[in-house]
Structure 1
Amino acid sequence: MPQLGVEVLTMKVLLVWLGIVVVVVSSKASEAVEHRYVNASDLNLLEAHEAGRAAYTLMVGLTLIQTAAAQGAVCLDGSLPGYHLHRGYGSGANSWIVNLEGGGWCNDVRTCIYRKKTRRGSSAFMEKEIPFTGILSNKAEQNPDFFNWNRVKIRYCDGASFAGDGEHKAARLQFRGQRIWMAAMEDLMSKGMRFARQALLSGCSAGGLATIIHCDEFRGLFPRSTKVKCLSDAGLFLDATDVSGGHTLRDFFSGVVGLQGVQKNLPRTCTNHLDPTSCFFPQNLIAGIRTPLFILNTAYDSWQIQSSLAPTTADPGGNWHDCRKNYYRCSGSQIQFLQGFRNEMLNSMKGFSRSNQNGMFINSCFAHCQSERQDTWFADNSPVIREKAIALAVGDWFFNRAVVKDIDCAYPCDNTCHNLIFR
């Protein structure tokens, strides 16, 4: 296919520049397609819009929120926050998708100082335009239910899933995620979102966690007559035991919550009975959310395997080195450990799944973030459960066409996955 050849060539140029490769492997494809990502030491190792772009992809410009500084709603370095907005039309003119960008977190002064000198901590380093693909695409054949909606991506430049509120004067760090969230909502409401007939809050990874945290707040912006729902993609981070018997992610989240003043912005339904760090874990939030919520997640989340379950700090002997990068190289006992993680994920959703208003799509893939990448959202060889692609499952749930509670069989049964392999 000539078009694929051009795209792969473009990606190879990018890969030479970055010097790092991740391969996406589809069981249905005859060849691997290369994609880029940033250094694995950065928690943003798998963000969705990094996955490459075709020459014809819609590129959308950055808008800085000029009123934000007066509200103290600034990025880590004190710069203005921003978003990318592509207007809807026709039947979607009064419908809105607000997508919260992901990109990891910073849990101490050192990592936050590093972060503020990147696009994850300063609008000075943000791309002036970004591609809108997957759930943000403007093409009906790529995004059948939401292509003509108003589509917004809010840039992530705080480091606590849009939930912190504090500062570190000595290090000149501003932890203002909650204020950025509020300033962005206020600005979008002034640009017509207050007239929305239907609205969907979404996000992937750290943005998926932010979607869960802010879901009910988002619902509260609109009159009761507006249909409002939320979609969390790859945001179901578990308070899981790592391969050394420790709790790597809990320790990390504890630093994020404590440093950035997150506690006061977490849902009271959780903090009334659990500690703040526990309430930064979605498994302790999802059952208490009143707004309809859809959980899209892989049962073998690549980010959680690499950074929570089997990070190098918990694997000093390097026993998980190969498995962490390539699931084909996992031993039988390692696969058994990962099956236990899948079971823990499914158990964490039991209460959530009892509500008919909620939806879920848990596929047995080694991946992370599937709604913003075209190949996993809606394409000829997209991942499916019972022959239904993710885009169609989400659309059926949002428009009440069907109850969607799709749980895949355990690995290795799914041959439609776009699994990630690192090298």
Structure 2
Amino acid sequence: MDQLVMSMLVVTALLTYARMSTSSDDDRLLVNMTVVSSAGALEAYCLDGSLPAYHIHLGFGAGANNWLLQFEGGGWCNDIESCSERAQTRRGSTLLMNKLETFSGILSNNASRNPDFYNWNRVKLRYCDGGSFAGDSKFDNGTLVLYFRGQRIWQAIIEDLLPKGLGLANKALLSGCSAGGLASYLHCNNFSSYLPDTTAVKCLGDAGFFLDSPGINMLHTQRIFFQNLVTLQGIEKNLDENCTSSISDPKQCIFPQYLLKYITPPLFILNSAYDVYQFHHILVPPSADPDGHWNRCKLNPKACGPDQIRLLHAFRVEMLTAVRSFLYNSSRGGVFINSCFAHCQSESQDTWFALDSPQLLNETIAESVGDWYFSRNVSKKVDCPYPCDTTCHNLIGAV
């Protein structure tokens, strides 16, 4: 499962990069890695035992005291075999990561590409634990050692940033995409606890609203995957106590739909109703389609048959049902759920803020998030069903 997740994310990244036409290589913002040298005192290690890291680009002007933290995404590992393999890649070791990271989209320092957050202190937290920064356990059989220390990595990075100005922040936004988007849901309350009461703390989950939904074979593939993840990495004790004490299976609180009502800071849900990860691994996981009847549909939504479209629309309804209470009852919440076949839309310039970016009600994602964060306007937007949206940047084939 983990290899499939990683393969899909790599393909998605390549497609996204190939389509980015709003900036040239010459004006990309490349930011150096900062290794958290003090993390060893907390035993906050990546899967392979290396020290965690982040990239920071300092704010300036009116944004000098504001902070945006972005969790990196990249799937999960939920068994020893897949985690051992992951530990030997950039997803499990900072020693194997690129030391320069491109900041674009919500991380850009260009006002014309990121109008509301360009001059903030912007930080990208590198992902090397395979558990959405939430685990706290260790595997050691005498031959192999794996560290599942995502929660400690989160703590170590925050404690490294607090004296650098985060502890005096006027405004703060915790964000992330994919597994990082899930992390922004899981850590939103905790993030607020590190900061002064005077700090305006808000959270944004991009492509992190993974549904606890059965696939076309009526099996809960993602639920089983997450249950194994929570057990292996010791995540349960770090899940929200209000959620875990109110549900029959506390492991379910890793799903945002169960956690949502317990998140206290203002929250923005950015997701596609036809999220390609969820389409490929929750609605139609490979195990549910051994003969490949969905292969053409997965590669190009135009190739989907009527019955397949009906199931995709039903999946969209499930997502809207899961956020219904938040959508209509949360006075401080923001929502941008479009009908694009996409996954992660805040870090890529072309989907965040560009001339041809996806829009709902004539607003881009960047404008909608900015309206919500700065309380300029009510920012709750839900798209009509596929294929009505002509502004989509579909990551699998053309609309």
After superposition, residues 38-117 of structure 1 pair within 5 angstroms as: 42=7, 44-45=9-10, 51-52=16-17, 54-55=24-25, 56-117=27-88
In structure 2, relative to structure 1, the CA distance for the partners of 1:198 and 1:58 (3 Å cut) is same
Residue 238 of structure 1 aligns to which amino acid in structure 2? L
* C-alpha distance in structure 1 between counterparts of 2:391 and 2:284, whole Å: 25
Q: What corresponds to 2:187 in structure 1?
A: 214
After superposition, residues 234-245 of structure 1 pair within 5 angstroms as: 234-245=207-218
Residue 332 of structure 1 aligns to which amino acid in structure 2? P
- The answer as to 2:293 corresponding to 1:322 is no
Q: What corresponds to 1:417 in structure 2?
A: 392
CA RMSD of aligned residues (A): 1.6
258-267 vs 300-309, which moves further: 300-309
2:236 corresponds to which of 255, 263, 268: 263
Q: What corresponds to 2:258 in structure 1?
A: 284
* C-alpha distance in structure 1 between counterparts of 2:119 and 2:15, whole Å: 23
- The answer as to 2:92 corresponding to 1:121 is yes
The answer to whether the 8 A contact 1:162-1:176 is kept is yes
Q: What corresponds to 2:245 in structure 1?
A: 272
Q: CA-to-partner distance for each residue in 1:172-193, whole Å, 9 max, x for gaps? A: 1000000000000000102111
* C-alpha distance in structure 1 between counterparts of 2:15 and 2:87, whole Å: 19
2:146 corresponds to which of 143, 157, 173: 173
1:205 corresponds to which of 172, 178, 182: 178
Residue 16 of structure 2 aligns to which amino acid in structure 1? A
- Residue 394 of structure 2 aligns to a residue whose secondary structure is strand
- The answer as to 2:373 corresponding to 1:398 is yes
* C-alpha distance in structure 1 between counterparts of 2:136 and 2:8, whole Å: 21
In structure 2, relative to structure 1, the CA distance for the partners of 1:46 and 1:234 (3 Å cut) is farther
* C-alpha distance in structure 1 between counterparts of 2:13 and 2:194, whole Å: 27
379-388 vs 273-282, which moves further: 273-282
- Offset of residue 273 of structure 1: 2.0
* C-alpha distance in structure 1 between counterparts of 2:15 and 2:391, whole Å: 21
- Offset of residue 47 of structure 1: 6.4
Residue 88 of structure 2 aligns to which amino acid in structure 1? K
The answer to whether the 8 A contact 2:168-2:196 is kept is no
Q: What corresponds to 1:344 in structure 2?
A: 318
* C-alpha distance in structure 1 between counterparts of 2:373 and 2:14, whole Å: 23
Stretches of structure 1 lacking an aligned partner (at least 5 in a row): 1-37
Q: CA-to-partner distance for each residue in 1:188-208, whole Å, 9 max, x for gaps? A: 102111111000000000000
The answer to whether the 8 A contact 1:49-1:373 is kept is no
Report the TM-score when normalising by structure 2.
Answer: 0.94
- Offset of residue 326 of structure 1: 1.5
Q: CA-to-partner distance for each residue in 1:54-80, whole Å, 9 max, x for gaps? A: 312100011100000111100000000
* C-alpha distance in structure 1 between counterparts of 2:341 and 2:335, whole Å: 17
Q: What corresponds to 1:386 in structure 2?
A: 361
- Offset of residue 42 of structure 1: 3.7
The answer to whether the 8 A contact 2:86-2:92 is kept is yes
- Offset of residue 264 of structure 1: 0.2
Q: CA-to-partner distance for each residue in 1:240-291, whole Å, 9 max, x for gaps? A: 1111111111111111001000000000111002213311111101121111
Q: What corresponds to 1:31 in structure 2?
A: none
- Offset of residue 314 of structure 1: 1.1
The answer to whether the 8 A contact 1:43-1:105 is kept is no
* C-alpha distance in structure 2 between counterparts of 1:40 and 1:289, whole Å: 27
Q: CA-to-partner distance for each residue in 1:17-44, whole Å, 9 max, x for gaps? A: xxxxxxxxxxxxxxxxxxxxx9765463
- The number of aligned residues is 386
Q: What corresponds to 1:228 in structure 2?
A: 201
- Offset of residue 307 of structure 1: 1.5
In structure 2, relative to structure 1, the CA distance for the partners of 1:163 and 1:182 (3 Å cut) is same
* C-alpha distance in structure 1 between counterparts of 2:363 and 2:371, whole Å: 10
- Residue 394 of structure 1 aligns to a residue whose secondary structure is helix
- Offset of residue 114 of structure 1: 0.5
Residue 415 of structure 1 aligns to which amino acid in structure 2? T
1:302 corresponds to which of 276, 283, 286: 276
Q: What corresponds to 2:126 in structure 1?
A: 155
- Offset of residue 46 of structure 1: 6.1
- Offset of residue 51 of structure 1: 3.3
The answer to whether the 8 A contact 2:301-2:397 is kept is no
Stretches of structure 2 lacking an aligned partner (at least 5 in a row): none
* C-alpha distance in structure 2 between counterparts of 1:265 and 1:77, whole Å: 21
* C-alpha distance in structure 1 between counterparts of 2:196 and 2:15, whole Å: 36
Give the percent of matched residue pairs that are identical in Structure 1 and Structure 2.
53
The answer to whether the 8 A contact 2:6-2:74 is kept is no
- Offset of residue 329 of structure 1: 1.0
Residue 322 of structure 1 aligns to which amino acid in structure 2? R
Residue 51 of structure 1 aligns to which amino acid in structure 2? T
The answer to whether the 8 A contact 2:16-2:395 is kept is no
* C-alpha distance in structure 2 between counterparts of 1:162 and 1:44, whole Å: 18
